[in-house]
Structures are given as C-alpha cells and as structure tokens.
C-alpha cells in the first residue's frame, strides 16, 4: 500500500477549509510574480537615466516608473497578506482537529500506556507537534509556492537582458543549492529526529523534576539527586553543540556562495568591458547588481522550508506514534457483575516484553473482603492493582469481577464498580468541587461537601479563599501531597463504588491527619471489596488476607496471624516494621522530655 504523503495526511484534517490552503498557494505565486515587476521598472529608470546623462532633467518618465514600482510592490504585499489569511484559517482548523483527535485517542488509550509516555511527552506531542504542522501550513507552504515561482520569474529576467551576466548570476545559485542539499539531506532528517527526541526527553524529565520539588526541599537535596533530568539536559547540550559545530563549515560556504554573486558579476563586467564600456552593458550590470540579492533571499527561504518539512515530518511521525497505540478492546455486551469478588487466574504481565512484573499470579478475593498487598518495591503490587482496574490487559491469564472477565465488561460499567486512590494523586486545574465531582458528576454541592468532610478536608476548605470553588493551580493556590490525597479520598467517598483500591492512600498524611484519614477510609471500606497496598503494616492487621509479593509472584498469603506463625518473609517484615516504629516512639519521647 502506497504511503500517504504528509500533505495528504494534513489535508485530511482540513475538511471544507482545504480549498483555502490551495487558494493561498495561488495567491502566493501571484504575489511572488508581482514582486518582480518593480525590478523591471527599476531597469526602465536606470535605462532612461543613462540615455539622457549628463542632462538628467530630460528623464521625464522616472517619476512615473517609480510610482508604478511602488504600486506593484504594494499590490504584491496585499495579495501576500490575503494568501497568509487563507493559509492561517485552514492551518488553525487543521491543528485544532489534530489536537481533538489526539486527545480523543489518548482518552481511549489504556492508562498504563499513558503512564508509559509520561505527561510531559504527551503534552509536547499534542501542543508542539500540532503547532509544527500549523507553522508549516500557514507560512512554509505558501512561501514554498512563491519560492518556486520566484526563480522562474528571475530566470526570465536574468536571461532577458544579458544572457551572459544572467548565467554568471546563476553560478553561485548552483553552488549554494548543492551545499544546501548536502545540509538538508537524509542525514539532516535523522538529526532533526534526534533533536526532537532530546527536547521531548528533557520536557518529560522537567515535568517529573518539578513534581519532585517537595522531596528535594524536604531532604535538602540538590538537582543532582534527579540524575535523569540532569542527564537529559547534558545530552541536549552535547547534541546541540556537536550539531552546530558540524554545520559550521557548510553554513559558512553556503552564506559565502549565495552572497558572492557580486564577485562573479564584477569579474564578468571586467571581462566583457575589455573592448570598452557601453551604456547597454553598464545598464545591465547595474540592474543585475540590484536584482541578484533576491536570489540569496529565495535560496534561504527554500533552505528553511526544507528544514520545516523535516520538522513537520517528525511531528506527524510522533502524532502517528500516539494514534497507532491500540485502545483496549471494548465489550459490546452490557455485562454487569453479579457480585464484587475479584479473581486473578494465572495472570502475567511485562512492561518491556522481557522480565515479568507479574508472573503467573492467581488469587481470589471474595465480595466484601479486605485484601492487602505487601512486599518490597518492585515486587508487582502496583502493577497488580493497575491490572485489576484495567489500565492495561494481562499478557496471559484473566481477571474476573463477579465471575465475568473484565475484558467483557464495558469500560463505563467497570469504572462505575471501582474506585481507586493512588499514592501520587493528581488534581485537574479546576475547582475542588469539580475535582471531587469527577467521582459522581450528578452530585449536588451538599453531597460534595459531605464527602469532603468525611475525608477530613474541612481544614483545607477553611484556608482556601473560595472554599470548594477555589481553582487548584490558579492565583498561586496549590495543595500539598497529603491534601491532594484527601481530596482524592473525598472523590472516592462520593463515588461510593463497591470495589475500592488503595495504593498507599495515606502516604503523605501527617500524624495528626493520618488517624482521621484512617477513620474515613475505614468508613468508606465498609461492605466493599478492598484491595489495599500498604507499607505501614499496622494498617492491615485486620485484613481478611495478606498477599506477600516478591519478583512478581505471590510468595506468601494468609491472615496476619497465619503469616506470623509461618515465620517467613512477612514475619521478617513485621519485625523490621515493629523495631522501626519502636525507635520512632523512643525518639519522640526523648524530644518531649528534652
């Protein structure tokens, strides 16, 4: 199948505005040809002046020629502005439609895939890549049409008056064009891709760095603690410097070539005037010196157009990368679980296709039970929680809710049955009211207020200027990690789904609020099937079953007492946790006594 060109792809987003893009090219060609007419009038002015010299008062047509040149120049500008208006209207619509399609597709992508990209990279693709197509369509394509028309008109002018000087004027054009082709060939396309990758990596790591600022301030760390962000900056710096140095000589030769046309004309003038200077040769030489700077300007436009074509090619590639991500298959049958039990049957999942994050995991949580997942970081706890919420599908095995495979449950139905509060809770740039209402869009203000109160958010509402109507992120209003978690808990309380997944939901809570949040979560958990990821082992002693995970497998399982009696992995974890808690209490007592 023949690959669709970038232009055809972009025109597919234009709809009825496609005609404006083509009209902009026609107007740009007309503008470029009209812009050459003043040079003909300049030739007439020089001709008349040389004809009547030294009695310049006899040159009666000079003023008329001058105003005619100004008139055509103004008409050319007006036509070019009209061309840009047409191209901009079409380009804005195309960029808008690309953003809409991208956002619609991202919304349908598995959340695991979204996390794989990172919010910084996705935002750059949606904003920067679509903006690149806008610049290309709004400016470069009309300029390209004009840049093609200009050399044709110039060629006619250059050869019409003196073909010998015309050919000499074309020598630097050929040299400059060859150098330009060397700079903007396949190697340049690869370099442009590397450049965009370096920018995307740096943007993504910058977002993660900013989110980690509270940790830096808390522990007094420096930027070097964020090695990935610094490495991204260093990589970008080295790449840009190396690339600039590589293009230094070619750019020097190119600039010299396109601006060296005068040297060729002067040399030609010396050769052609060995038999004496004629008015005709002097006229043409002066005219060629006046008109040849247009050649350099045109070539430079073509060079930037080649660069922009590579940028838009890279942008479309990145857009396609996102659009080619396959959304999770949707069930067309409205299957509703009969109960809220959760079962995993021989589930395996890998992020990179090599090492399994989950390896043949099987477990069963009955409806209304509380299950806890514990273990060292990287053991697969969060992956298991994510796969139950269908952020991605397992490579092997299946997940059942109420004895129905979650792949056979419509997405909206599944989400209506599950609430989750993750360790890194994020809020939208919207009011607290709107953020909490995401759990139940039809909720009244009173229901939202009660959910916030149940989640121990009263102190947050009291300090905000507009209470629950305060917009997070606007006018310097920001919430701490613990406060964001409490808002996320309020959202889960409002949703009141029968299955609750908690991933360190009290991780950022201070000691005062941890007890209150624990009470809120206990009230929220009543009568629900709960899957709880916890590092604070004291919070899961009442769990119906504790699963100890190691290297993607379930190493141990049972109640708290059963696991202690086994004297295995969990017993060691409990001893370490108890000793750490005892050490904290002793230190606190010393501080109080002091």
Give me the DSSP letters along 489-534: HHHHHHH--SEEEEESTTTT--HHHHHHHHHHHHHHHTTSEEEEE-
Q: How do 499-503 and 418-421 pair as beta strands? A: parallel
Tell me how far apart the alpha carbons of residues 429 and 451 are, in angstroms, rounded to a whole number: 20
Each residue's pLDDT, cut to its tens digit, for the chain (594 residues) gives 445 677 888 888 888 888 999 999 999 999 988 988 888 888 778 777 777 777 667 667 778 888 998 999 999 999 999 999 999 999 999 988 989 988 888 887 877 777 777 777 788 788 878 888 888 888 888 888 887 787 777 777 767 667 777 677 777 777 777 776 766 666 666 666 677 677 767 766 776 666 666 555 544 455 555 677 777 788 888 878 877 777 788 778 877 777 777 777 777 777 777 766 666 777 677 777 777 777 767 766 766 666 667 777 778 888 888 888 888 777 777 788 888 999 999 999 888 777 888 999 999 999 989 999 998 888 888 889 888 888 888 889 999 998 899 988 888 888 888 888 877 677 888 888 999 998 888 899 999 999 888 888 888 888 888 888 888 876 667 787 778 888 888 898 898 889 998 887 665 566 666 666 777 777 778 788 999 888 778 888 888 999 999 989 999 999 999 999 988 999 988 888 787 766 655 555 555 555
pLDDT for position 74: 95
Tell me how far apart the alpha carbons of residues 319 and 226 are, in angstroms, rounded to a whole number: 29
C-alpha to C-alpha distances, 28 to 86, 87, 143, 148, 257, nearest whole angstrom: 10, 10, 7, 10, 27
354-405 confidence digits (pLDDT tens) = 788 899 999 999 998 999 999 888 888 888 988 888 888 888 999 999 889 9
8 A C-beta contact, residue 248 and residue 217: no
Q: Give CA angle at 324 (312, 322), nearest 5°.
A: 55
Q: Which of 484, 485, 464 is nearest to 475 (CA)?
A: 464
Kindly report the pTM of this predicted structure. Answer: 0.62
Q: What share of the chain is helix, strand, coil (3-state, %, to 5)?
A: 65, 10, 25
- Superfamily covering domain 6-323: ABC transporter type 1, transmembrane domain (1.20.1560.10)
| Domain boundaries along the sequence of the chain | 6-323, 342-424+495-593
8 A C-beta contact, residue 79 and residue 87: no
pLDDT for position 219: 45
Residue-wise over 422-451: b if at least 16 C-beta within 10 A, else e?
bbebebeeebbbbbbbebbeebeeebbbeb
Residue 10 phi, psi (nearest 5): -70, -35
* Strands annotated E in 324-365: 342-349, 358-365
pLDDT for position 285: 72
8 A C-beta contact, residue 137 and residue 18: no
C-alpha to C-alpha distances, 139 to 18, 91, 132, 178, nearest whole angstrom: 15, 9, 11, 24
Tell me how far apart the alpha carbons of residues 180 and 187 are, in angstroms, rounded to a whole number: 12
Q: Do domains 6-323 and 342-424+495-593 have the same CATH topology?
A: no
Class of the 342-424+495-593 domain?
alpha beta
Q: How do 404-405 and 499-503 pair as beta strands? A: unpaired
DSSP H stretches of helix in 184-292: 186-211, 213-219, 227-258, 261-272, 279-291
């Amino acid at each position: 199948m023949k690959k669709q060109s970038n232009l055809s792809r972009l025109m597919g987003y234009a709809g009825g505005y496609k005609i404006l893009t083509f009209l902009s090219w026609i107007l740009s060609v007309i503008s470029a040809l009209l812009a050459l007419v003043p040079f003909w009038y300049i030739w007439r002015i020089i001709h008349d002046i040389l004809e009547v010299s030294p009695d310049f008062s006899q040159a009666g047509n000079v003023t008329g020629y001058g105003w005619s040149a100004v008139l055509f120049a103004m008409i050319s500008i007006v036509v070019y502005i009209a061309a840009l208006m047409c191209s901009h209207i079409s380009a804005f619509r195309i960029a808008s439609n690309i953003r809409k399609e991208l956002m619609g597709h991202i919304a349908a992508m598995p959340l695991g895939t979204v996390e794989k990209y990172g919010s910084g990279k996705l935002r750059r693709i949606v904003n920067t890549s679509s903006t690149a197509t806008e610049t290309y369509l709004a400016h470069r394509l009309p300029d390209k049409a004009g840049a093609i028309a200009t050399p044709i008109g110039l060629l006619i002018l250059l050869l019409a008056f003196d073909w010998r000087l015309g050919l000499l004027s074309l020598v630097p054009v050929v040299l400059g064009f060859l150098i330009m082709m060397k700079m903007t060939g396949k190697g340049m396309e690869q370099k442009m891709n590397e450049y965009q990758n370096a920018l995307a990596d740096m943007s993504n790591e910058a977002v993660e760095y900013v989110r980690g600022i509270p940790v830096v301030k808390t522990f007094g760390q420096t930027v070097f603690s964020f090695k990935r962000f610094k490495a991204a900056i260093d990589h970008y710096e080295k790449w840009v410097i190396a690339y600039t140095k590589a293009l230094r000589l070619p750019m020097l030769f190119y600039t010299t070539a396109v601006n060296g046309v005068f040297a060729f004309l002067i040399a030609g003038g010396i050769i052609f005037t060995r038999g004496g200077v004629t008015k005709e040769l002097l006229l043409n030489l002066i005219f060629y010196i006046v008109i040849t700077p247009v050649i350099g300007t045109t070539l430079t436009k073509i060079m930037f157009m080649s660069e922009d074509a590579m940028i838009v090619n890279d942008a479309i590639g990145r857009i396609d990368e996102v659009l080619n991500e396959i959304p999770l298959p949707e069930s067309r049958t409205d299957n509703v679980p009969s109960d809220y039990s959760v079962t995993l049957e021989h589930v395996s999942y890998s992020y990179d296709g090599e090492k399994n994050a989950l390896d043949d995991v099987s477990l069963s949580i009955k409806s209304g039970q509380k299950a806890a997942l514990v273990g060292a970081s990287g053991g697969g706890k969060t992956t298991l929680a994510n796969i139950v919420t269908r952020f991605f599908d397992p490579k092997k095995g299946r997940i059942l809710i109420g004895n129905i495979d979650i792949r056979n449950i419509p997405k909206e139905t599944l989400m209506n049955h599950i609430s989750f509060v993750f360790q890194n809770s994020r809020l939208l740039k919207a009011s607290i009211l709107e953020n909490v209402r995401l759990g139940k869009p039809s909720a009244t203000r009173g229901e939202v207020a009660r959910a916030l109160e149940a989640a121990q958010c009263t102190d947050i509402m009291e300090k905000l200027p507009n209470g629950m109507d305060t917009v997070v992120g606007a006018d310097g209003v920001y919430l701490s990690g613990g406060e964001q978690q409490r808002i996320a808990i309020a959202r889960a309380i409002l949703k009141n789904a029968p299955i609750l997944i908690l991933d360190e939901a009290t991780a950022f809570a201070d000691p005062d609020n941890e007890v209150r949040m624990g009470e809120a979560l206990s009230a929220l958990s009543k009568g629900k099937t709960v899957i709880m990821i916890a590092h604070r082992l004291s919070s899961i002693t009442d769990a119906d079953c504790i699963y100890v995970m190691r290297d993607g497998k379930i190493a141990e399982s049972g109640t708290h007492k059963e696991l202690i009696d086994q004297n295995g992995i969990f017993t060691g974890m409990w001893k370490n946790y108890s000793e750490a808690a005892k050490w904290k209490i002793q230190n606190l007592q010393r501080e109080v006594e002091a």
